[in-house]
């Protein structure tokens, strides 16, 4: 890891383990351009890649064609209104309504460590494991400075970028666009991958060519959303999970975003992400600053898998802060699909009785424990225990669960309020709405105005009082509707364009306060499932509920999309009842366990009512979790087959960092007649080590198979180059685990 400035060529070179990121200052005016990002290179001076030594040349050589230069130069942070007609990263209006900015190099600083982003989640590092470059750009005429920040981390091929905009004009200005990152690449023919979906179908993978013009994905919902995710990657046409060049970009933000890629008339490609400029503005007084959210760039020459493993390592080591980051999570059982609103303390204690005997370690009480909450039409915001429903009160229930050797967790939806609630009747102005206009409801609920500290203070105090009243060790934070009808009783008209971002900052502020005051709390975020499963939330919670769709087969596609970016340890995944409550499908209990093992692992069912043969499998699954979770949680992830691509078979593996163990999961979704076993090549093993293969029960996987050798020890090189045979079970939806261990 190293960052250096080369005075003779006015170049900046950022080196990670296997990659180089190079920029250069050109022309006497000092334009900052992007020269190179890719495999590690030894040379410092690659400014020729910016094509400044050929027509139209720089303005000092060809002033008459300045606009031609602007419209093809690979600006590191392009601005609006001066003649670069591609997507801009920055737009600022002055008091006269003019919006044209030209940024030129002013100064730079290189230092060890990494600064925090005020009020925002971001990757972190210290002087031993990270390094930062800050480049200050300025528009002298407008009195604007922009500080571009680049941070790298020991042993990780990622670059974290953000920007700070400073008003030094002596006047008020209005920021209407401030993207987190932009970089150009010359003459590349890429495909792009984005993630799309909706409720119960989150993170579906969409691969299409990068076309001429600008293509974008975005959210305007106030959350990162299930519809699109603030991630994109560009990849070579022949790239797949295990080969080819890939450029990944993910935004550490949980609100409205816009991610775009554009291919110009000259075949250059510009990639950009940041806060969605639609419905956004920010008033900056003289001397005031605005910080953009952080974006993470990853280059991989080892396909999508290499990109994923880099994101996973970065987020595990430099984004997730929870004390649970590297710990095995307690196996929980959530009562939502077991009871919905129809429960009391006796029912929950009965579930705890049965669950504890099976080895389940935590009971989570979901929606319906507070106020007049007997259905989803009322009482959100009334965070007081309903002691008619929970006789004896919350502490009695928690103590009873603890007596059975189980931890206790609880569900909140802090951002919401129902019109039929004591809170709304007392403070109708606390809900987001436009005066004189009837607001739109979703699930008969409105959203609280988290731009106001008095609102977040009130909600925090209510949540904190509940957590202090009993031994509660886990919180599921839910958020079940988008934002619309934007209106605040406190925000002045000239600042209404700041609402969406201020709301997101309010959510961050409240979650930061929660985990600071309750440092040992296990916090899990949720938003109608995976509607806010993003890197911003991981900064506050080590795990996020991936989807309300718990069907094991649907989860294969959802979890594959998540695994492109996020470590498996962050993915909330449960075994649920069948027929599944979302799709009505029935899958084997064993398969449901194998699929949930790829996440945090838990249960979403009434353990007192499931078939006896399923209940008897729970202790086996508990042992499975404790046996393999270290590999899943901390290991390197490799995709072996994709059900979303082939339609009938899914497989992945996790390899321990020391390459002494691996766990293969294989799911036959649709059984086909007259098909032999499948050959699957493994990845990530030590080619010079010998390995033994075992079934889930510990027996020899190769027993009875010819050709494996009498000692049944197979080299890593053979397993990766020649592969193994996956023997499918009888019927659809069958799965198996294969434990790979280095031979002694």
CA 215 to chain centre: 21
- What are the distances in angstroms from CA 25 to CA 54, 133, 178, 494, 711? 16, 15, 22, 37, 62
Nearest to 359, CA basis, from 395, 420, 302, 406: 406
Interstrand relation of 407-412 and 362-365 (parallel, antiparallel or unpaired)? parallel
pLDDT surpassing 80 at residue 72: yes
Average of pLDDT values for 77-100?
A: 96
Determine phi and psi for 326, rounding to 5 degrees.
-115, 15
Q: pLDDT-based confidence at 710, cuts 50/70/90?
A: low
- Give residue-wise pLDDT tens across range 671-705: 888 777 899 999 999 999 999 999 999 999 987 66
Q: Which helix (H) or strand (E) holds 487?
A: none
Pick the CATH number of 332-634 from 3.30.420.40, 3.20.20.70, 3.30.930.10, 1.10.10.10: 3.20.20.70
Quickly list DSSP for 113-168: S----TTS------TTTEEEEEEEEEETTTTEEEEEEEEEETTEEEEEEEEEEEE-
Which positions ≥6 away from 612 have C-beta within 8 Å? none
Q: Which helix (H) or strand (E) holds 604?
A: strand 602-604
Domain boundaries, the chain: 2-318, 332-634, 641-742
Contact indicator for 121, 180 with CB cutoff of 8 Å: no
Question: Which residues are the active-site residues?
Answer: 478, 548
The Cα 324–Cα 18 span in angstroms is 30
DSSP-assigned letter for residue 211: P
- What are the distances in angstroms from CA 33 to CA 49, 62, 75, 234, 439? 10, 18, 4, 20, 47
The Cα 124–Cα 160 span in angstroms is 10
Neighbours of 42 (CB within 10 A): 6
- Give residue-wise pLDDT tens across range 494-533: 999 999 999 999 999 999 999 999 999 999 999 999 999 9
- Give residue-wise pLDDT tens across range 322-368: 999 999 999 999 999 999 999 999 999 999 999 999 999 999 999 99
The Cα 532–Cα 542 span in angstroms is 13
State the chain's maximal CA–CA distance in angstroms: 84
Determine phi and psi for 176, rounding to 5 degrees.
-115, -5
Interstrand relation of 19-26 and 11-15 (parallel, antiparallel or unpaired)? antiparallel
Which positions ≥6 away from 547 have C-beta within 8 Å? 200, 201, 202, 529, 530, 554, 555, 558
Q: pLDDT-based confidence at 707, cuts 50/70/90?
A: low
**Could you tell me what percent of the chain has a pLDDT over 90?**
96
Categorise residue 670: left if φ over 0, alpha if ψ from -120 to 50, beta otherwise: beta
- What are the distances in angstroms from CA 119 to CA 327, 488, 507, 552, 649? 27, 21, 10, 38, 44
Neighbours of 148 (CB within 10 A): 24
- Give residue-wise pLDDT tens across range 581-632: 999 999 999 999 999 999 999 999 999 999 999 999 999 999 999 999 999 9
Residue 142: the pLDDT is 96
Nearest to 257, CA basis, from 501, 449, 452: 501
Question: Tell me, which fold does domain 641-742 have in CATH?
Answer: Immunoglobulin-like (2.60.40)
The Cα 545–Cα 574 span in angstroms is 9
Count of alpha carbons within 13 angstroms of residue 27, beta-carbon side = 24
Residue 728: the pLDDT is 74
Residue 628: the pLDDT is 98
Enter the tokens of residue 510.
């409240």
- What are the distances in angstroms from CA 543 to CA 46, 159, 378, 644? 42, 23, 28, 24
Handedness of CA 536, 538, 541, 546 (dihedral sign): positive
The whole model's pTM is what? 0.97
Residues linked to residue 90 through DSSP beta bridges, in sequence order: 79, 178
Q: Where are the alpha helices (DSSP H) in 230-322?
A: 303-318
The Cα 79–Cα 676 span in angstroms is 58
Determine phi and psi for 205, rounding to 5 degrees.
-90, 125
Angle among Cα 214, 505, 248 to the nearest 5 degrees reads 35
Q: pLDDT-based confidence at 311, cuts 50/70/90?
A: very high
pLDDT surpassing 70 at residue 534: yes
Q: pLDDT-based confidence at 711, cuts 50/70/90?
A: low
Which positions ≥6 away from 427 have C-beta within 8 Å? none
Tokens 């925002």, residue located = 120
Neighbours of 496 (CB within 10 A): 15
CA 320 to chain centre: 11
- Give residue-wise pLDDT tens across range 203-261: 999 999 999 999 999 999 999 999 999 999 999 999 999 999 999 999 999 999 999 99
Nearest to 551, CA basis, from 577, 532, 526: 577
Residue 188: the pLDDT is 81
Residue 352: the pLDDT is 98
- Give residue-wise pLDDT tens across range 550-570: 999 999 999 999 999 999 999
Q: pLDDT-based confidence at 573, cuts 50/70/90?
A: very high
Contact indicator for 33, 183 with CB cutoff of 8 Å: no
Residue 157: the pLDDT is 98
Angle among Cα 718, 668, 684 to the nearest 5 degrees reads 30
DSSP-assigned letter for residue 8: T
CA 236 to chain centre: 23
Contact indicator for 84, 100 with CB cutoff of 8 Å: no
- Domain covering 2-318 in this structure, CATH number: 2.70.98.60
**Could you tell me what percent of the chain has a pLDDT over 70?**
99
Average of pLDDT values for 434-457?
A: 97
DSSP helix/strand/coil, 82:
coil
Residue 672: the pLDDT is 84
Task: Tell me how long the chain is.
Answer: 744
Average of pLDDT values for 16-26?
A: 98
Neighbours of 487 (CB within 10 A): 17
Which positions ≥6 away from 170 have C-beta within 8 Å? 143, 286
Torsion of CA 737, 738, 740, 743, to 10 degrees: 130
pLDDT surpassing 70 at residue 709: no
- Give residue-wise pLDDT tens across range 112-171: 999 999 999 999 999 999 999 999 999 999 999 999 999 999 999 999 999 999 999 999
- Give residue-wise pLDDT tens across range 638-656: 999 999 999 999 999 999 9
Contact indicator for 259, 231 with CB cutoff of 8 Å: yes
């Amino acid at each position: 890891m190293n960052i250096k400035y080369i005075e003779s060529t006015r170049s900046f070179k950022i080196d990670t383990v296997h990659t180089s990121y190079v920029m250069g200052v050109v022309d006497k005016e000092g334009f900052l351009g992007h020269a190179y990002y890719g495999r590690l290179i030894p040379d410092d001076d690659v400014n020729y890649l910016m094509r400044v030594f050929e027509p139209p040349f720089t303005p000092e050589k060809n002033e008459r064609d300045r606009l031609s230069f602007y419209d093809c130069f690979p600006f590191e942070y392009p601005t609006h209104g001066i003649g670069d007609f591609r997507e801009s990263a920055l737009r600022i209006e002055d008091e006269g309504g003019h919006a044209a900015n030209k940024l030129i190099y002013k100064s730079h600083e290189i230092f060890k460590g990494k600064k925090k982003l005020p009020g925002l989640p971001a990757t972190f590092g210290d002087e031993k494991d990270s390094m930062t470059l800050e480049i200050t750009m300025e528009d002298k005429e407008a009195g604007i400075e922009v500080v571009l920040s680049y941070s790298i981390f020991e042993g990780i091929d990622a670059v974290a970028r953000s920007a700070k905009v400073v008003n030094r004009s002596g006047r008020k200005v209005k920021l209407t666009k401030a993207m987190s990152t932009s970089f150009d690449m010359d003459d590349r023919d890429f495909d792009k991958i984005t993630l799309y979906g909706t409720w119960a179908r989150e993170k579906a993978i969409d691969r299409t060519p990068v076309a001429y013009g600008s293509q974008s994905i975005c959210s305007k919902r106030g959350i990162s959303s299930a519809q699109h995710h603030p991630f994109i990657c560009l990849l070579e046409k022949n790239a797949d999970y295990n080969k080819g060049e890939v450029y990944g970009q993910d935004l550490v933000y949980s609100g409205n975003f816009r991610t775009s890629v554009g291919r110009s008339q000259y075949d250059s490609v510009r990639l950009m992400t940041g806060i969605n400029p639609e419905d956004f503005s920010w008033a900056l007084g003289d001397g005031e600053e605005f910080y953009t959210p952080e974006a993470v760039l990853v280059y991989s020459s080892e396909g999508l898998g290499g990109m994923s493993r880099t994101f996973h390592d970065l987020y595990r080591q430099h984004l997730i802060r929870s004390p649970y980051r590297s710990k095995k999570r307690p196996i929980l059982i959530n009562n939502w699909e077991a009871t919905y609103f129809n429960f009391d303390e006796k029912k929950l204690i009965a579930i705890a009785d049965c669950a504890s005997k099976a080895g389940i370690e935590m009971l989570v009480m979901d929606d319906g424990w507070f106020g007049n909450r007997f259905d989803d039409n009322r009482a959100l915001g009334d965070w007081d225990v309903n002691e008619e429903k929970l006789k004896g009160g919350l502490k009695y229930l928690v103590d009873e669960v603890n007596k059975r050797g189980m931890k206790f967790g609880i569900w909140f939806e802090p951002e919401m309020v129902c019109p039929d609630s004591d809170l709304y009747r007392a403070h109708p102005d606390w809900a987001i709405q436009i005066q004189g206009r009837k607001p739109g409801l979703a699930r008969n609920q409105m959203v609280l105005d988290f731009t106001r500290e008095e609102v977040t203070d009130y909600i925090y105090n209510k949540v904190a009082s509940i957590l202090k009243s009993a031994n509660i060790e886990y919180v599921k934070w839910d958020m079940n509707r988008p934002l619309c009808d934007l209106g605040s009783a406190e925000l002045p008209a000239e600042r209404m364009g700041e609402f969406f971002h201020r709301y997101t900052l309010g959510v961050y502020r409240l979650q930061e306060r929660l985990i600071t005051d309750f440092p040992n709390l296990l916090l899990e975020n949720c938003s109608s499932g995976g509607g806010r499963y993003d890197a911003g939330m991981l900064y506050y919670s080590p795990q996020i509920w991936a989807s309300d769709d718990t069907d094991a087969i649907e989860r294969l596609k959802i979890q594959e999309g998540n695994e492109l970016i996020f470590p498996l340890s962050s993915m909330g995944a449960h075994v649920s009842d069948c027929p599944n409550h979302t799709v009505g499908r029935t899958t084997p209990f064993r398969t449901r366990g194998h699929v949930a093992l790829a996440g945090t692992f838990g249960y979403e069912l009434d353990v007192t009512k499931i078939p006896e043969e399923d209940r008897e499998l729970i202790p086996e699954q508990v042992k499975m979790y404790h046996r393999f979770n270290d590999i899943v949680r901390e290991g390197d992830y490799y995709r072996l087959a994709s059900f979303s691509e082939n339609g009938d078979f899914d497989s992945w593996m996790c390899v321990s960092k020391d390459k002494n163990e691996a766990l293969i999961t294989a799911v036959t979704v649709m059984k086909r007649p007259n098909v032999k076993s499948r050959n699957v090549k493994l990845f990530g093993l030590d080619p010079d080590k010998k390995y033994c293969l075992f079934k889930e029960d510990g027996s020899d996987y190769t027993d009875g198979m010819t050709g494996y050798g009498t000692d049944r020890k197979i080299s890593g090189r053979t397993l990766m180059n020649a592969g193994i045979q996956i023997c499918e079970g009888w019927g659809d939806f069958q799965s198996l685990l294969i434990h790979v261990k280095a031979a002694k």
